[in-house]
Chains A and B, each alone.
Chain A
Amino acid sequence: MNVQAWTFVLVGLSFALYIGIAVWSRARSTKDFYVAGTGVGPLANGMATAADWMSAASFISMAGIVSFLGYDGSVYLMGWTGGYVLLALLLAPYLRKFGAFTVPDFVGDRYYSQTARVVAVICAIAVSFTYVAGQMRGVGVVFSRFLEVPIELGVVIGMGIVFFYAVLGGMKGITYTQVAQYCVLIFAFMVPAIFLSLMMAGTPIPQLGFGGVDPSTGVPLIEKLNGLHTELGFAAYTSGAKSTLDVFAITAALMVGTAGLPHVIIRFYTVPRVRDARLSAGYALVFIAILYTTAPAIAVFARTNLLETVRDAPYAAVPEWFTKWEETGLLTFTDSNADGLIQYVGPDAVDAAGVPITNELTVDRDIMVLANPEISGLPDWVVGLVAAGGLAAALSTAAGLLLVVSSAVSHDLLKRGLRPDISEKGELIAARIAAGVAVVIAGWLGINPPGFVAEVVALAFGLAASSFFPVILLGIFTKRMNREGAIAGMISGIGFTTAYIVWFKFIDPAANTADNWWFGISPEGIGTIGMLINFAVAVTVSRFTPPPPRAVANMVEDIRVPRGAREAHEISA
């Protein structure tokens, strides 16, 4: 069997599995649909959370980003894991005790305000749609590259699968599909990593391999890569180019953003008890850490491999994968000095006479994971497996995000807003219709991706960091925080963050350089400042406005202890 046949078989099998699970786990009530009936065990929830969280970006792009950024890539590794500590310690147990169905549910009830609820609904929908567009694009890329179908058809197939299990099963279907998707994606990520580690470092454990030595020469791998970088005019791999303050701000924005993302938070509503919420955050981070500690190892292996393969290689003799990826436009080579050799060099490169050398090769970072098995000459089935893994990562995250959108519409806007008298059955139908419409919009965004998908991801994290996190945290840890403070805080935090990002990314992109940034903080890290503004405004405003009603103070007392968290609250039941 060739690569394509293997890919068809493995992707087909994984899709059949997801559909089977969807049929087996249909949602029968709104509680099933929103929070899987709060019957998910901590281990299963940990796996589902990991798949929910690890998107096409984690699976396809992250190792590549780290590979190109070196030390600076650490912001993603720490930022996208450290947030789970905040979740487990500061948010998850209390939100589970509160027992809501959605994030706007908590914001609306804790701040006794429909305005606060609506602001939260808008944030939740905005964050989720920006995210989901990127997932659908990932699905399209994998399909077009590995199965050689048009991107549009790939997106439609992906949409069909998500539609089936998200609409039918709601959170319940999504949860058990995500458990399966985690298994597929982690297997697909680890197999090539283990092969690579054996090849490059002589050990099957990538985490040890990348701190090891090249078995043929005895030179430490990291030292070897730093050497290659210096020779070719790149900054040393282990030293960064970003300022310390910016690294600090980006890491914080990603951590806090993680803890404030609605599709992650709602996963902790699905477990039976408060203690399960804490424990499942721990399991989730274990499952995530397996991938996140392997990614920097792959980054080092892949970077070394790439540099050694293309460095001054004759273009006529490039391997087959090189040509294949050139066709996708993700790899481009222009022989500016017409010597027939590939000069892949950094900004500081000079030749023997001290004349700067022009770089002739651009490599899209997404290739690093997808092409790795081919670059390293791994068996065909591994390539097919990576395709199935990439799809699992994209689909699982897309489904989680779509659920947030659908519950924001059917629960927060209809049930808790416009149509409080809607029946259980009516709400379930509304939730299914909303999920269906959301899938179609997501698919449309995937087929017609806004040219700025990568940029909006920064916005999604910035928004989550500067809106939800401070408001939820203050809602749990202070009894004095009131409606006025929370609304003022959310609006000023989001307003500042959006304005800063929109300015540098869309209105005046030419000015997007460190010289023009406030305090040297990039748009990726500005969510940290937005969060601080939110905290400061909320606390100040609440001091000059009336304290919350007694019932709210009692509720805060109550969510601080685990006992009594048997069920998610059901207003109508």
Chain B
Amino acid sequence: MTYAADVAALARKDLLLELRAKETLPAMLLFVLSTLTVFHFALPRGAGGLAALGLLWVAIVFTALLGLTRAFVAEREQGLLDALVLAPCDRSAIWLGKAVAVLAFLVAAELVALPAFAAFFAPVGARTIVAVVLADVGIATVGTLLGAMAVAGRARELLLPLLFLPLAIPIVVGGVGASAGGGSRYLAFLALYDAVFAVLSWASFEYVVAEA
């Protein structure tokens, strides 16, 4: 119960920070809408729904990357990780609280992105929505861990994409496969990815933030 309360307090803090600063979510919304607009004009007529679905996933991954780049900005600028890691709470609660907040930002961005995609390209099916939700969980869990790793480095803005994009490839494969009617095995693949990387991230966050 204490663990859940710690996670809730940390996630609430991140949502409150964003509610007041309004830096991350507006940027994500603007980015995903701009990207879909560019794709709408860039995609040749008659290119088909499958190509458009691929572009949807490209937009989702890069929008997520934008959000992840800012995930630890407050902690970095004020040296707050020092204060957080000295607390007696389980350090994985810091990761989970941040991942929950990132997930909320992703869901909010997609509440705008999916209707925009439907307006520009083609209707979004239930299977695509489920795939997006599963992908969001994977992006939030892995991305938050990598964000914490990158924040410690000097070239953090370069480091995060280099770490994140290779690990996002399975998400794109699963997402495109599920959206394109590839059957439930792609959804199962995404769920398995989520489970594996959630456990790995939960267990390894301690070592990412702890030096001593």
Bind each other:
no
Q: Which residues of A contact B (CB under 8 A)?
A: none
